[in-house]
Amino acid sequence: MVSVVLDISPESLEPLRYARHEVSMSPTYVDRFGDAIWPRRLSIERYAFLAIAAGAAASPNEVVTGAWTLMDLAGTPVELRLDALCTGYDLLVLAWVPIAERSRKRVRLVA
């Protein structure tokens, strides 16, 4: 699981870009996707989940759900579930791997 706290308003609309305040990654997330440093400014070109965050900003106090595909360390695309919520102060985004995906065995081929 990864959680991200964003500014309530985007810095720009074209391209959609938000300032990031906090990011927290679970150990399981780090094992699968790595411990990358997230930039202070997130752009939709790299972080497609920002479209879901923008939807949450337009619907305060309502959870907006969606999905985000991210490559894991093995180079396999993984679809993460998303929940986004606008609190009135910040945008909160939570992304996680669904249980069915977590229980699948990952096989790494070595040449």
For the chain, what is the largest distance between any 2 Cα atoms, rounded to a whole number of angstroms? Answer: 51
* Half-sphere exposure of residue 104: CA atoms within 13 angstroms, side-chain side: 10
* CA 63 – CA 56 distance, rounded (Å): 7
- Cut 0.75: pTM above it: yes
* CATH number assigned to the domain comprising residue 85: 3.30.450
Parallel/antiparallel/unpaired status of strands 41-43 and 12-13: unpaired
Structure tokens at 94: 């939570």
Does residue 109 fall inside a structural domain? Answer: no
Does residue 108 fall inside a structural domain? Answer: no
Per DSSP, what are the bridge partners of residue 69? Answer: 79
The number of distinct structural domains making up the chain is: 1
Which domain does 82 fall in, by range? 2-103
Q: What is the pLDDT of residues 64-90, one digit of tens each?
A: 999 999 999 999 999 999 999 999 899
